[in-house]
Amino acid sequence: MQNETKESLNPTFPRSVLSVSRDEFGNKEDNPDVKDLPLKMNVKEGKLPLDLQGHVFIVAPVGSIDSPDAQGNPTNSTIYPSSDGTTPLYNGDGMIYRLDFDNLEAGAFLSSRLVKPPCYYADAATYKCQKYQDLKFKNYGITRISGSLGVRNQLNTAFVPLKFARDESERLLATWDVGRPYEIDPKTLETVTPVGRNDEWKEVTQIGLPGKSQTPFKIIQTSAHPCFDPHRQEMFTVNIGRSISNVCSQLIPIAYIFKEFWEWILHVFHIKERKSVTLPELEEKPLSFSKKLSTIGKSIWKFLRGLLGIFTDNFVYLMRWDGSGSLEKWKVLVENGLSIKIKQSIHQMAVTEDYIVLLDTAFKVSVEELLPTLTNKKYQRFEKFFRNFLDRPQLSDNSFYIIRRSDLNPEKNYVSAKKVTIPGEAAHFLADYKNPGDLITLHLSHVCAWDAAEYLSEFDFDNDKTPNLEANNLRRLYGAIAGPMDISKFGCHVVNGKTGELVKKYQDVIMDENSTWGPAIGTYQNHPLPDRL
Ligand SMILES: [Fe+2]
């Protein structure tokens, strides 16, 4: 590389990562909302090989309906989702891109379409309609919340391809950690339907405040990488519940709960009269005295139940789906008969011939990452102290839970799991499909001191040494996900599924100063799954 070129290169991550377009491209017959035809690939040099075939699917977050453009104005085109300094780039609607290689004589084409579950429309409507302003969604760090409507299901993380016996072609699910997976039409890229009914999924935390009804868009914690077994035509996922004490020790909707609690206090003490906004179809008739009494009774019970749940509401349901209709589900218990307690997340899970493997993944969400942005810069020092006080690292050990598939009895509503601890945190792992002699082989990407839930905010120490950053009006990389902070490891571990014992003689971990910084493991599972990786 010539010295001149080397010097002109930006020593940090390219700043173009901070902006993204929300424009959709496609054919009118596939997507009536689209304004532009699929984009044709501009071949700069050489020719596209004519033996290319198939389609590449990509999903990525593209900010929200209220994300600003470069000048800070709302737009639906090129936006800067993290320009407030505290919203990560991955808080945003999922955009599905498809690159087509099926008509190479004409060229390669790119279509794109936003993932649009019902909460997408609620977000757009409350943002655009003046009369629903009180119901608007706002960013709280990694989540997007409306106090009255609930939490956005942004579906921006991964795909799961499925093909059940009665299906003519492959189907596609879009997934993420906090919401039901949705099926996507691979041709039109339209969001088709969720997996399971709303009432089949339980909220991550249940605390009922008297007078507060449940929001329509529930906080559902699940796996961003559910698994599908094409041999036995079964899809598995999880529904996770966290007690408040568990949540406070590390995780999820604390901002939401604080907000709910604060609004309830304001409401009860009439400190601030909330403008009541009622959707026309939700208007309620006046209640009779007996009904009022019964409603109050139910509210108090819900509240007391919520208080008890502060310590006890930990659960994991393993869910099985056959491609249509209801989900089968089993509460997962450990040997003492208690529900398993997930302290972080089950970002990924795996299926083998005879077992389901769950991992409490190093993808924690601390309270610090759920705080709203304070607009008053006078309190910035206090805010920085408060955020650092609430932040904490991910757990350094992996807790695996192994469930025998033959124990999934449709007559029962629970199943037992064996717990195995493997040192060296991981967020992604794969399992060999075959488990001869009940030995399960797990391949782990040990992401030491690296948590994908951490991102750069204006309250962090920023080591960006780009010359003349301010003078050249260059944006800081706020919102960008952190990279590895230590040498990572690549581990192969064998666990006896019957006994839950880690078979140390087969354990193999490699760590190399030059080669294992942030090893990534493909989260896509080949179809059919390989017997042995
Ligand atoms: Fe992932």
Give 427 Cα–ligand 1 centroid separation in angstroms.
Answer: 7
What's the DSSP call for residue 451?
-
Q: At residue 309, does pLDDT exceed 70? A: no
Q: At residue 57, does pLDDT exceed 70? A: yes
pLDDT of residue 147: 87
Q: Which residue has the tokens 């173009």?
A: 16
Give 402 Cα–ligand 1 centroid separation in angstroms.
Answer: 20
Residues 302-317 have a mean pLDDT of 71
pLDDT of residue 288: 73
Give 520 Cα–ligand 1 centroid separation in angstroms.
Answer: 10
Give 8 Cα–ligand 1 centroid separation in angstroms.
Answer: 34
pLDDT of residue 273: 41
Q: At residue 84, does pLDDT exceed 70? A: yes
pLDDT of residue 8: 53
Q: Answer yes or no: are the C-beta atoms of 80 and 476 closer than 8 Å.
A: no
Give 54 Cα–ligand 1 centroid separation in angstroms.
Answer: 24
Look at 18-22, 118-122, 250-254, 289-293 and tell me which has the smallest mean pLDDT: 250-254
The CA dihedral of 318, 319, 322, 327, to the nearest 10 degrees, is 150
Pairwise CA distance, residues 20 & 62, whole Å: 6
Give 360 Cα–ligand 1 centroid separation in angstroms.
Answer: 13
Give 524 Cα–ligand 1 centroid separation in angstroms.
Answer: 10
Q: Quote the tokens at residue 236.
A: 């598995």
What percent of the chain lies above the pLDDT cut of 70?
Answer: 80
Give 77 Cα–ligand 1 centroid separation in angstroms.
Answer: 27
Most confident range (mean pLDDT) of 36-45, 211-220, 239-248, 285-294 is: 36-45
Residue 421: pLDDT band (50, 70, 90) is very high
Most confident range (mean pLDDT) of 134-143, 198-207, 446-455 is: 134-143
Residue 260: pLDDT band (50, 70, 90) is low
Give 345 Cα–ligand 1 centroid separation in angstroms.
Answer: 11
What percent of the chain lies above the pLDDT cut of 90?
Answer: 55
Give 226 Cα–ligand 1 centroid separation in angstroms.
Answer: 10
Q: Pairing relation of β-strands 138-140 and 227-229? A: unpaired
Q: List, for residues 471-486, the tens digit of each pLDDT value.
A: 777 888 899 888 888 8
Give 504 Cα–ligand 1 centroid separation in angstroms.
Answer: 27
Give 364 Cα–ligand 1 centroid separation in angstroms.
Answer: 13
pLDDT of residue 370: 66
Q: At residue 172, does pLDDT exceed 80? A: yes
Q: Quote the tokens at residue 335.
A: 């040997």
Give 348 Cα–ligand 1 centroid separation in angstroms.
Answer: 7
Give 347 Cα–ligand 1 centroid separation in angstroms.
Answer: 6
CA-based torsion, 300, 301, 302, 304: positive or negative: positive
Give 153 Cα–ligand 1 centroid separation in angstroms.
Answer: 16
Give 228 Cα–ligand 1 centroid separation in angstroms.
Answer: 16
Amino acid (1-letter code) at residue 351: V
Q: Please tell me whether residue 16 adopts helix, strand or coil conformation.
A: helix
Q: Pairing relation of β-strands 414-416 and 328-333? A: parallel
Give 223 Cα–ligand 1 centroid separation in angstroms.
Answer: 9
Give this prediction's pTM.
0.85
Give 478 Cα–ligand 1 centroid separation in angstroms.
Answer: 21
Give 104 Cα–ligand 1 centroid separation in angstroms.
Answer: 32
Give 371 Cα–ligand 1 centroid separation in angstroms.
Answer: 23
Give 531 Cα–ligand 1 centroid separation in angstroms.
Answer: 22
Q: Which helix (H) or strand (E) holds 191?
A: strand 191-194
